[in-house]
Chains A and B, each alone.
Chain A
Amino acid sequence: MTPVLHDWVLDAGCYRVRLLASLLGADLDLRSVDVHPGDALRSEAFLLLNPAGTLPVMEVDGSVLTDGPACLTWLAATHDAGWLGDPSPGGRAALQHWLGVSHELAATLGAARPMDMLGASGDPRPLRLAGRGHLRRLDAALARGRWDGRAFLLGDRPTIADVACFPDVALAGDCGMSLDPYPSIRLWMRAVRGLPGFVPMPGIHPLHEASPFPEDARGSGADAARGTAA
Chain B
Amino acid sequence: MTIAPADRAAWYPAAPSSAVTEGHATPTVLLGEGVALFRTDGVAAATGADRRALAVTERYDHVWVCPGTPDRALFAIPEAAMPGRRAVPCGSIHVRCSPLRAVENFLDIAHFPFIHTGILGEEPHTEVNRYDVRIDDDLDEVWARNITFHQPQASVSAEGALDVRYEYRVPAPTTAILYKTCPARPAEWDVIAIFVQPVSEETCIAHPWMTMFDDATPHADMVAFQQTIFLQDRSILENQIPARLPLDPGMEVPTQADLTSIAYRRWLKRRGHAHGAQLVAA
- Chain A residues proximal to chain B, CB less than 8 Å: 8-10, 31-34, 36-38, 40, 116-119, 173-174, 176, 202-203, 206, 208, 210-212, 214-215, 217-226, 229-230
- The interface residues of chain A lying within 8 Å CB-to-CB of B220 are 31-34, 38, 40
Knowing A38-B223, A173-B235, A230-B282, the reply to whether A220 touches B111 (Cβ < 8 A) is yes
Give the interface of B toward A (CB within 8 A).
16, 18, 89-94, 96, 104-105, 107-108, 110-111, 114-115, 117, 123, 205, 218-221, 223-224, 227-232, 234-236, 238-242, 246, 249-250, 252, 254-255, 257-258, 260-262, 265, 282
From A32, A208, A215, give the contact of B239 (CB < 8 A).
Answer: A215
Contacting A118 at CB < 8 Å: which of B92, B232, B260? B92
CB-based contact A203/B224 at 8 Å = no
Q: Give B34 Cβ to nearest chain A Cβ, in Å.
A: 15
A187 to B96, CA, bound (A): 27
Across the interface, which residues of A come within 8 angstroms of B240, CB to CB?
218-220, 223
Give every chain B residue within 8 A of A220 (Cβ-Cβ): 104-105, 108, 110-111, 236, 240, 261
In the bound complex, do residue B252 and residue A222 qualify as a contact, i.e. CB atoms below 8 Å apart?
yes
Closest residue of chain B to A6, judged by CB? Answer: B220
A116 near B117 with CB under 8 A, answer no
User: Does the CB pair B241–A217 fall under 8 Å?
Assistant: no
Total residue contacts A-B, CB cutoff 8 A: 120
With A and B bound together, what is the CA distance between A206 and B115 in angstroms? 10
Closest 5 CB pairs of A and B: A202-B231, A221-B261, A32-B220, A34-B220, A220-B108
| CB-defined contacts of B228 to chain A, threshold 8 Å | 9, 202
CA distance A208 to B115 in the complex (A): 11
Instruction: With A34-B219, A221-B261, A225-B252 as known contacts, state yes or no: A211 contacts B236, CB within 8 Å.
Output: no
> CA–CA, A176 to B96, complex, Å?
9
Tell whether, in the assembled complex, residue A119 and residue B92 are in contact, meaning their CB atoms are under 8 Å apart: yes
| A221 near B252: Cβ-Cβ < 8 Å | no
Select from chain A the residue with minimum beta-carbon distance to B90.
A37
Q: List A contacts of B261 (CB < 8 A).
A: 220-222
Secondary structure class of chain A's binding surface, majority of residues: loop
Shortest distance from the beta carbon of B8 to any chain A beta carbon, whole Å: 24
Can you list 12 A-B contacts (CB < 8 A)? Answer: A34-B223, A37-B89, A37-B92, A117-B93, A118-B92, A202-B234, A218-B239, A220-B104, A221-B258, A222-B249, A222-B258, A225-B258
Take A221-B257, A222-B261 as given contacts and tell me if A37 and B250 are in contact as well, using a CB distance cutoff of 8 Å.
Answer: no
For the complex, what is the distance from the CA of A9 to the CA of B90, rounded to whole Å?
A: 13
Q: Which residues of A contact B224 (CB under 8 A)?
A: 8-9, 32, 34
User: B91 contacts which of A36, A215, A219, A222 (Cβ < 8 Å)?
Assistant: A36
Interchain CB contact under 8 A, A221 and B107: yes
Q: A33 vs B108: C-alpha distance in the bound complex, in angstroms?
A: 30
Q: For residue B231, which residues in chain A have a CB less than 8 angstroms away from its CB? A: 9-10, 117, 202-203
In chain A, what residue has the closest Cβ to B256? A225
Whether A118 touches B91, Cβ cut-off 8 Å, given contacts A218-B240, A225-B254, A225-B258, is: yes
Instruction: List, in ascending order, chain B residues with CB within 8 A of A223's CB.
Output: 240, 246
Contact A218 B223 (CB under 8 A): no
B255 is contacted by which of A38, A40, A118, A225 (Cβ under 8 Å)? A225
Shortest A58–chain B CB gap in Å is: 17
